[in-house]
Amino acid sequence: MSGTLTVVGLGPGDPRYLTPEADAALTSAHALYGYGPYLDRVPQRAGQTRLASDNREERGRAVAALDRAAEGARVAIVSGGDPGVFAMAAAVCEAIETGPEAWRALDVAFVPGITAMLAVAARIGAPLGHDFCALSLSDNLKPWELIERRLDAAAGAGFVIALYNPVSRARPWQFGNALALLGRHLPPATPVVFGRAVGRPDECVEVMTLDAADGKNADMATLVIVGSRETRVITRPGKSPLVYTPRAAVEVNA
């Protein structure tokens, strides 16, 4: 019997974002691995085991799941959003590269999902309508100087910037510093979108200007989109504003 490992993207957390491909992978698995709150989103099925682990235990979770698959089981690792964007897919690849040779013979698959920046963007209009980048603000796995260098490069060249992991208990000042750095490149009125818990009951999506945005506006579950010089806000009477970045860009020298 030959085991398999599938890394499954659940999307932002409501079943209406779960693709049929992801649903099929979850249904057919013998064992599910994942961060507890993500596993809790998957309906319980008879005969299926589930092993929850802490959010920071990505490597250990990947190793445990690969071990189980190597024993012959059909294993799924669940990931919020898309597993390939600051999530479990890279941790699984790292474990395969450094693990036993037998793991390279396993059938491994990745099922894409709606990542947070796409869900937040869709709630507010089309802020990612032109060139953009996605950057994790966590300096657990890279030096803060590299994050600053990337923020400088992205804002200076006119990319819209989606910020993942803006804040955590162990990283209280980084997001405020990032906003201050971006303020040296971008006008004070640049739109900044804060999206929290999209598709869940406590969903909250807000637009502020860069000069009014504050490190305190985000927490661990927030995805932040900082506009470019081209990003626009459409006010609508009695409705929430639309934020979008036009398809055309003219400015070469920001």
Site for a copy of itself, residues 191 to 250, rule: CB under 8 A: 232, 234-239, 242, 244-250
Count other C-beta atoms under 10 Å from residue 222's C-beta. Answer: 21
If one asks whether residue 46 binds a copy of itself (CB under 8 A), the answer comes out as: no
CA 21, chain centre distance (Å): 19
Among the residue ranges 31-39, 40-48, 137-145, 204-212, the one whose residues contact a copy of itself (CB under 8 A): 137-145
Per-position b or e across 88-110, b if 16+ CB within 10 A of its CB = bbebbeebbeebeeebeebebeb
Among 73, 128, 167, 182, binds a copy of itself (CB under 8 A): 128
State the minimum distance, in angstroms, from the CB of residue 226 to a copy of itself.
13
5 beta partners: 75, 108
Among 10, 18, 179, 182, binds a copy of itself (CB under 8 A): 18
Subset of residues 49 to 68 that bind a copy of itself, contact rule: CB under 8 A? 58
Q: How far apart are CA 228 and CA 223, in angstroms?
A: 16
Among 56, 104, 184, 200, binds a copy of itself (CB under 8 A): 104
The residue type at 235:
T
Subset of residues 69 to 88 that bind a copy of itself, contact rule: CB under 8 A? 82-86
Sign of CA dihedral 35, 36, 37, 38: positive
Residue 49 or 246 having the CB closest to a copy of itself: 246
**Element of type H or E holding 126:** strand 125-126
If one asks whether residue 143 binds a copy of itself (CB under 8 A), the answer comes out as: yes
168 phi and psi angles, rounded to 5 deg: -145, 175
State the minimum distance, in angstroms, from the CB of residue 178 to a copy of itself.
13
If one asks whether residue 122 binds a copy of itself (CB under 8 A), the answer comes out as: yes
Among the residue ranges 48-56, 118-126, 174-182, 186-194, the one whose residues contact a copy of itself (CB under 8 A): 118-126
